[in-house]
Amino acid sequence: MENSINPPLDTPFKQDVYNGLTAFPKHLSSKYFYDANGDKIFQAIMNLPEYYLTNSEFSIVQENKEKICVLFAENTPSFNLIELGAGDGKKTKILLAHLNNIKANFNYLPIDLSENALKQLESSLAEEFPNIHVAPKCGSYIEALETVAFNKNNKNIILFLGSNIGNMLFPQAIRFLKRINSLMHKNDILFLGCDLKKNPQLILDAYNDKSGITASFNMNILQRINTELQGNFNIENFKHWEVYDPETGTAKSYLVSLKPQQVTIAAINLQVHFKAWETIHTEISQKYDHEMIQRLLEEAGLKIVSKFGDKQGYFENYVLIKK
Ligand SMILES: C[S@@+](CC[C@H](N)C(=O)[O-])C[C@H]1O[C@@H](n2cnc3c(N)ncnc32)[C@H](O)[C@@H]1O
C-alpha cells in the first residue's frame, strides 16, 4: 500500500482493492463477495444441484446432531457457541434447535464480515429461537474472535463450517488454525468442516454451474467496487473462469478480461489497465485428503476427538481440541 495516495486508503476494502489491482498478477479477496447482493447469490448457490457442499454438511449435522451436541455441552454448566463466517446459519440452526431441545445453557455468537448477513441471521433467529441469547459480531474472523469473551470459566465452542477453511491455501490455513488454537482453553472445541478431494469433475462443476449463478457471484466483487468505490467496471467485459488441480486439490476462480480495457476506481484514484485475457484471481477453494488434514491438524497443534462424514464421502466435520 502507498501512503501518499489521495484520497487515502482508509478502509481495508480500499487498501485490498488498491493492492490487488496494482499487483501482478492481479487478485482480489473472496471475502469481498459478500454484501447484500452477494449474500443473496450465495444462498442461491447453496440450492444449486452442483453445489454438493451444503447438502453434504447439512446431512452430516442432521444425522449426528445428538452426538455433536453432547460433545459441545459436556463437562460444563454453560458455553459460548461462536461461529466464524456464520452466513445464514442454515446448518447451525439444526444444532441450535437440538441444543434448545436438550435445554442446553449457551449463548450464540455469530461472527461475519457481512453486516447484512448478520442482521438477517439475527432477525431470523429472533423469530425461530426467541429464547436463545444471540450476540452477533461484525468483523473479520480472528479480529472479531479476539474481542469475543474467551474466559476460562465458560467453555467455548468455535464453529467453522462450509469449508470456509478452504478459502485459504495450506500454509495460511495452518497459521489460521494455530492462531485459533492459541485462543482456545483446555476444554474448548473447534468444530471444523472440510471438503474432500473427489471426482475432479464434481468439484469443477460446483464452482462452474450451468445456470451461471457462480459466475454472477464472482462478478459481484466488481459490482461492489463500482457501487462502493465509484468504479466503472463493465461486467460484460469479463468472464468467470474456474480451474481445479486434482494434484494439489486447489480450485481457483478467476475473472478474465475479454479485451484490452481501462477501468477507473474514483474513490481510490486508480486507473487500472487490463490486457486482453488478463486475469484477476478471486477465490481459492482448497480440497483435502486425510493425509493433508492430518498434517494440518498436527502443525496447528489440534487433536481429533471425533469425526463425522457423509454417506458419499464428500465432506467431513471434525471435533477438535488443543493437544
Ligand atoms: C461460504 S459462506 C459460508 C457460510 C456458512 N458458514 C455456511 O457454511 O453456510 C462464507 C461466509 O463467511 C463470511 N466471511 C468470509 N470471509 C470472512 C472473513 N475473513 N471474516 C469474517 N467473515 C468472513 C462471508 O461473509 C460469508 O457469510
- pLDDT tens digit string along 255-294? 999 999 999 999 999 999 999 999 999 999 999 999 999 9
Task: For residue 87, report the distance from its CA to the centre of ligand 1, in Å.
Answer: 6
114 pocket-lining for ligand 1 (C-beta < 6 Å): yes
Atom number in ligand 1 closest to CA 53: 8
Asked if residue 188 and residue 238 are part of one domain, the reply reads no
State the pLDDT at residue 6: 79
CA–CA separation, 6 and 171 (whole Å) = 35
The pLDDT of residue 130 is above 50: yes
Asked if residue 80 and residue 107 are part of one domain, the reply reads yes
Query: In this structure, is residue 41 part of a structural domain?
Result: no
For residue 263, give its domain range. Answer: 12-33+205-286
Q: Domain total for the chain?
A: 2
Asked if residue 274 and residue 181 are part of one domain, the reply reads no
- Which residue lies with its CA nearest to atom 20 of ligand 1? 140
> How many alpha carbons lie under 13 Å from residue 126 in its C-beta half-sphere?
8
Asked if residue 163 and residue 282 are part of one domain, the reply reads no
The pLDDT of residue 1 is above 60: no
Asked if residue 304 and residue 184 are part of one domain, the reply reads yes
Query: In this structure, is residue 2 part of a structural domain?
Result: no
285 pocket-lining for ligand 1 (C-beta < 6 Å): no
Pocket residue to mutate for ligand 1, from 96, 112, 142, 194, most atoms within 8 A of Cβ: 112
140 pocket-lining for ligand 1 (C-beta < 6 Å): yes
Q: How many CB atoms lie within 10 A of CB 97?
A: 14
52 pocket-lining for ligand 1 (C-beta < 6 Å): no
- Which residue lies with its CA nearest to atom 11 of ligand 1? 85
85 pocket-lining for ligand 1 (C-beta < 6 Å): yes
90 pocket-lining for ligand 1 (C-beta < 6 Å): yes
Give the mean pLDDT of 249-258: 98
* pTM of the complete model beyond 0.75: yes
State the pLDDT at residue 84: 98
pLDDT tens per residue across span 216-230: 999 999 999 999 999
Give the mean pLDDT of 296-302: 98
Task: For residue 6, report the distance from its CA to the centre of ligand 1, in Å.
Answer: 31
Task: For residue 101, report the distance from its CA to the centre of ligand 1, in Å.
Answer: 27
Instruction: Give kind and range of the element (H or E) at residue 101.
Output: helix 92-101
Asked if residue 115 and residue 66 are part of one domain, the reply reads yes
**H helices within 250-315, ranges in order?**
290-300
State the pLDDT at residue 79: 96
Give the mean pLDDT of 189-217: 98
Pocket residue to mutate for ligand 1, from 164, 176, 207, 315, most atoms within 8 A of Cβ: 164
Asked if residue 246 and residue 142 are part of one domain, the reply reads no
CA–CA separation, 193 and 317 (whole Å) = 4
Query: In this structure, is residue 133 part of a structural domain?
Result: yes
Query: In this structure, is residue 125 part of a structural domain?
Result: yes
The pLDDT of residue 200 is above 60: yes
The pLDDT of residue 3 is above 60: no
Range picked from 6-15, 152-161, 311-320 for highest mean pLDDT: 311-320
Task: For residue 260, report the distance from its CA to the centre of ligand 1, in Å.
Answer: 33
315 pocket-lining for ligand 1 (C-beta < 6 Å): no
Asked if residue 155 and residue 130 are part of one domain, the reply reads yes
**Confidence category of residue 4, pLDDT binned at 50, 70, 90:** low
State the pLDDT at residue 2: 47
pLDDT tens per residue across span 138-184: 999 999 999 886 666 789 999 999 999 999 999 999 999 999 999 99
State the pLDDT at residue 149: 67
- Beta-bridge partners for 261: 274
Give the mean pLDDT of 82-103: 98
Query: In this structure, is residue 43 part of a structural domain?
Result: no
Asked if residue 139 and residue 282 are part of one domain, the reply reads no
Query: In this structure, is residue 180 part of a structural domain?
Result: yes
Instruction: Give kind and range of the element (H or E) at residue 240.
Output: strand 238-245
Average model confidence (pLDDT) across the chain? 96
State the pLDDT at residue 203: 98
Query: In this structure, is residue 71 part of a structural domain?
Result: yes
141 pocket-lining for ligand 1 (C-beta < 6 Å): yes
Cβ neighbors of 140 (< 8 A, separation 6 or more) are 12, 31, 113
Asked if residue 167 and residue 56 are part of one domain, the reply reads yes
Torsion from C-alpha of 307, 312, 314, 315, nearest 10 degrees: -30
Asked if residue 270 and residue 303 are part of one domain, the reply reads no
Asked if residue 213 and residue 178 are part of one domain, the reply reads no
Query: In this structure, is residue 70 part of a structural domain?
Result: yes
> Can you give the CATH number for the domain in which 309 is found?
3.40.50.150
